[in-house]
Structure 1
Amino acid sequence: MLFSLVRCLILLLLLTLTGAGRTLMKIKERVRNLQLQKTKQLLLTHTASSRQPLRHVKEGRIHQQLDHFKRKDVSTFPQKFFVNEAHWQRPDGPVFLFIGGEGPIYEFDVLAGHHVDMAEENGALLLALEHRFYGDSINPDGLKTENLADLSSQQALADLAVFHQYISQSFNLSHRNTWISFGGSYSGSLSAWFRGKFPHLVYGAVASSAPVMAKLDFSAYSDSVGLSLMNEAVGGSEKCLAGVREAFAAAEALMSWNASRVARDFGCCQIPKDLDDQIELMQNLADIILGTVQYNEEGVLMSIDEICAVMTNKSEACEEEVEAYNRLVKLSQIYHSTSEEPCLDISHEKTVKNLMDTSVHSGRRAERQWTYQTCTEFGFYQTCEDATCPFSGMVTLQSQTELCPILFGISQHSLPGRIAFTNNYYGGDNAHTHRVLFVNGGVDPWRKLSVVQDRTEEGDEAQTIFIKDTAHCADMMSGRVTDRSSLKKARQEIEKHVVGWLKMAAQERV
C-alpha cells in the first residue's frame, strides 16, 4: 500500500499506555518522529508525481461540551478530527470511525492502516476523532488538576456520540450508512465500549489489543513478557529468560554497594544514590526489553530474537553473574547508540516535575493525562513484586501509585474502588456485547486484560481472533510481504467479519 512506511508511526501513536518508564516513552517518541519524517518524504515524492493523497483529507474541529453530564455547564473545548472522502460511495456507503486514544491523531489515521484498506474495498467514509485532553483537543488551561475531572473514558464515549450526530448532519447521513468503529489498545477498548454503550449508533466494532479489564496491580504484564522471551517461535528461549533474570539480579545487587559503578556502566546522568532514582534506573533498563517484546518485529528498536542473541552470548572468561550483568550493559549500549541523548536521566525528581507540567505544549506528550487516567480509572501498574518477574523487584505497586497523591491529590487507598467501578461500568472482560471483534497477539502482554476466547451466552457473543506469534496491534497495519502467515490470515478474518456486518446491516434495512 502507498503508506506502508507509516505502519510503525500509527502503531506508536496508538500504544502509549505501557508504563511509567521514561526510556519506553523516549523509544516511542523517537520512532514516531522518524516515521513522520519518512512519511513526509514519501508524500513529497508522490505529490511530485501528480499523486496527491492528502488532498482528500480535511481537518476540522467540533466544539464539545466539557462535561456532557452537567447540562447547565456550557463550557466547551475544540476537538480535532479528520475526514477522508476518497473511497466513499455516496450516499449510502458505510462509515469507518477510527477512534483516537491517549495521544494526538494525524491525517495518516485516515490514510493508512488495515481499516483504510477495508474502507477502500467497501466504499467507506473515513473518520478519525482525537481523544479529549490529548493532542490539540484541549483548552489552554486544560491540564491543571482541577480541570482534569472532565478527562474520562465516559466523557470520551459521549464525545463520540455527539460527533456521530455532527457528522451525520454534515454529510446528510441516514440509517442506511452503517457505522463500524476501530481502535487499538486503549482506543480499542473505547471501540468495544462505544458499541456496548451506544449500539444504536455503531453497528460493529473492531477492538485490537484492547485491555477492557481494568487492573490495579498488573503484575501479569511482566510475567507475560517473560513467557515471550521463552517463545522459540519468535526467537526466545529458556536460556534467554534466565539470562535476563540473572542480569537484573546482578545489577540490583551491585547497585546496593557500588552505585557509582552502575551509573558509569549504564551511562547515567546521575549516581542513583536514593531509592527513587534506583527504581527509575531499574524501570528504564526493563523498558528496553518491555518495548522490544510489546512491539516485536514492528521496526521498534530490536526484536526478541536480537535481544536474546545479546542476552545469551556467553564467554568463558567471566563468572555467570558478572557475565549476565555485562550482557545487560551491552544491551543498554545498543539502545543508547541510537539515542541522541548524552546520558540516561534517572532523576525521579525530574520525572515528577515533568508530570506536573500543565502547559499547552505538554498536551502532545500525553504522560500527565494518561497518568491521571491510570489513577482514576484503569490502574495498569506493571509491577515486579512476584517471584516470577524477570526484572527488578524494586518496581512495586507502592512506587507506581505514589504519583497519584503527589500529582493529583488522589489517595492511593481510593484506587481499588475506582478500578472496581470501571469494571462494573463496562463489564470487564465479560461484557455482554454483540458484534464486537477482539483481536489479540500471543506475544502481546496486554492480551491478559482483553478477551481472547469466544463466548456465546443467551444471544450475546464475543468474537475473537488470536494471532499466536504477533505483538501489540500488529493487525492494524497494512499488510507487507514480510508479515507472518498467521498475521495475514488474521487480517483476512477481520475483513470477513466487517464485510459480514455490512451485509447483515443491508439485509436488515430491506
Structure 2
Amino acid sequence: MRLTGSVPMVQCSSSLVGKDPSLVLTCWQMPRLPLTGKRTKFLFVPKIASNKTTFGLISHHVEMAQQHGALLLAVEHRFYGDSINPDGLKTESLADLSSQQALADLATFHGYICRSFNLSSRNPWISFGGSYSGALSAWFRGKFPSLVYAAVASSAPVKAKLDFSEYNHVVGLSLKSVAVGGSEKCWARVQQAFAAVEAELLTGNLSQVAGDFNCCQIPKNLDDQIELMQNLADLFMGTVQYNEEGVLLSIKELCDLMTNVSGEDKDMDAYSRLIKLTQVYRSSTEDKCLDVSHEETIKHLMDTSVHSSRRAERQWTYQTCTEFGFYQTCEDSTCPFSGLINLQAQTKLCTAVFGISQHSLPSNIAFTNSYYGGDEPHTHRVLYINGGIDPWKELSVVQGGEEVQSVFIEDAAHCADMSSRRVAKRDSLRRARQEIEKQVSDWLRTASLEKMDKGADGIKP
C-alpha cells in the first residue's frame, strides 16, 4: 500500500485483549521518514465504518497534510473496526462502548505515538473527523486540550436529542430546494406517495402492497408496516444526506423521477413513481426482495457475530440508547413520509435488543449534553463545518463566535467538505475548502509563534 506525495503516515488498529480495557495498538508506517523535530501531527479520528486499506487516504485532510509536511495518523475504533474482539459485540462487552471511552482510547493512542517516536509538546496535533467521528474530534480537543492543539469537526452532531424530528424537516426542505434540484412539486409527490401507501395498508390491501414493493413478507402487523415505511423513507433520507457524494441518485435525479411529465412516465401517479424508485434502487443491490419483517430486524440487531454484514447497526443502536437518541421521527406535517415512523417504534428497540428501559433514555441524553455542552460545546480552537442540505446540521454548531469557528456551505451535503479538493463539484465547496485550509494554516502559524515564546516548554493548550 502506498501514499503518493511526501506525507509520512502511521496507520493503527486497536483492540481489546480479554477483559482488560486497555488499548492494544498495532501500527505500520509509510514511508520511513524522520518523525521527530517540529513536525505537525494530523490525527484522523475513526468513523463508524473502517477499512484498513483506505483509512481516508483520498481526503482533504490528507492533501493538507501533504501541504504542511505533517505526519498523518489514523486510528481504528475499537468497536467498529476490523480488529474487534470475537466477543466484542456481546451486550456485556458493549459496556465499554461509549464516546467517553473512545476519547480515552484516543488519549492512549496519543501517548503511545509520542513514546514510540519520541515526540514532545512542541509537536502540535490537529484532529479531523466527520459525522460521529467529527463530534469525537471536537470533544477530543475539548476534553484533552493539552494533547490536541486544534480540531476540525465536519458535520458533527455534538448535541444529543431524543426526538430528532428536525432531521426529516430538513429532508423535506432539501427536496423542495431548487438550488440542489428539488421543487415544491417533488415534496408534494413524495408526500402523496407515502399517503397512498398508508391508505392501502389501512384498507387491508396488504398483499397488493407487498407485491408492488417486492416485499419478502406480507406486512400483516403494525411493526412490519412501520418497517416498510422506514425502508421506503430511507431511500429519500439517504439521497438527501449524501447528495452527490456517492449515492445512487442525487436529489435532482430522484425528483426528476418523481415529477417528470414526459415520456412513458408522464401519466404515472405518485404511488407508481415510488414503486419505480424502489425498483431502481433494488436493481443496484443483491437483495432479491425488500425485508419488512420487524422480527428479522430484531434478530439482526441481536446478532453478536463480528463477521455480520450489518454489525455496525448493533453498536450504533446501542449508542443511540445509551448516549445520543438521534431518532428520526415523522410525526409532524413538515415530514413528507409516514406518521407511522414515530418515537415509540424506534425506542422500543432499546428494550427488545439490550434490555435498556425506554424511560432511561431522556436521562442518558441529558447526561451527554451536560458532559459535552450540547450545541454550545465546551470547546475552543475547533472549526465546525456543515452543509446546508445536511439534516445533521441541526445538531451541530453552525454559527461561529468568539470561541468557536464555523464554515457553512449552503448547498452541500453530509461531510461533503472531507472529500478531495480534486472532486469538488460546486464552487461553494471549493471556497469552503479554502477557508478550512486557511484556518489550519493560521493555527499552525499561531502554534509556531507560541513555541518561540515559550521555548522548550511547548505550546499553550
- Could you tell me which of 249, 253, 268 is aligned with 1:302? 249
1:199-218 alpha-carbon deviations (Å, 9 max, x no partner): 00000000000000001000
Q: In the alignment, is the contact (CA less than 8 A) between 2:153 and 2:383 conserved in 1? A: yes
Q: Matches of 1:63 and 1:352 in 2, distance apart?
A: 27
Q: In the alignment, is the contact (CA less than 8 A) between 1:112 and 1:478 conserved in 2? A: yes
Q: Matches of 1:144 and 1:164 in 2, distance apart?
A: 28
Relative distance call for 1:87 and 1:300 in structure 2 (3 A) is: farther
Query: 2:307 is paired with a residue of what secondary structure?
Result: helix
1:59-117 alpha-carbon deviations (Å, 9 max, x no partner): 54556689xxxxxx844454566654578775221000000022224242253200000
Relative distance call for 1:54 and 1:98 in structure 2 (3 A) is: same
Q: Matches of 2:259 and 2:90 in 1, distance apart?
A: 47
Does the alignment pair 1:495 with 2:442?
no
Q: Matches of 2:233 and 2:309 in 1, distance apart?
A: 26
What letter is aligned with 1:170? S
Look up the match of 2:273. 327
- Could you tell me which of 125, 129, 136 is aligned with 1:183? 129
- Could you tell me which of 277, 281, 299 is aligned with 1:353? 299
Q: In the alignment, is the contact (CA less than 8 A) between 1:105 and 1:128 conserved in 2? A: no
Look up the match of 1:287. 234
1:457-484 alpha-carbon deviations (Å, 9 max, x no partner): xxxx110000001100000010235520
What letter is aligned with 1:101? K
Look up the match of 2:218. 271
Q: In the alignment, is the contact (CA less than 8 A) between 2:158 and 2:377 conserved in 1? A: no
What letter is aligned with 1:293? V
Q: In the alignment, is the contact (CA less than 8 A) between 1:79 and 1:137 conserved in 2? A: no
Query: 2:148 is paired with a residue of what secondary structure?
Result: coil
RMSD: 2.5
What letter is aligned with 1:205? A
Look up the match of 1:24. none
Identity %: 63
Spell out the pairing of 1:60-459 with structure 2 (5 A cutoff). Answer: 60-61=12-13, 74-76=20-22, 78-79=24-25, 83-85=29-31, 90-109=36-55, 111-256=57-202, 257-314=204-261, 323-362=269-308, 365-456=311-402
What letter is aligned with 1:238? E
Structure 1, unmatched stretches of 5+, are 1-42, 67-72
Q: Displacement, 1:310?
A: 1.0
Q: Displacement, 1:338?
A: 1.4
TM-score normalized by the length of structure 2? 0.92
Q: Matches of 2:190 and 2:205 in 1, distance apart?
A: 21
Q: Matches of 1:404 and 1:83 in 2, distance apart?
A: 41
Q: Matches of 1:122 and 1:53 in 2, distance apart?
A: 12
1:130-186 alpha-carbon deviations (Å, 9 max, x no partner): 112112242221211112111100011000111100000111111221100000000
Q: Matches of 1:430 and 1:232 in 2, distance apart?
A: 31
Q: Matches of 1:200 and 1:341 in 2, distance apart?
A: 49
What letter is aligned with 1:479? R
Structure 2, unmatched stretches of 5+, are 453-461
Relative distance call for 1:116 and 1:55 in structure 2 (3 A) is: closer
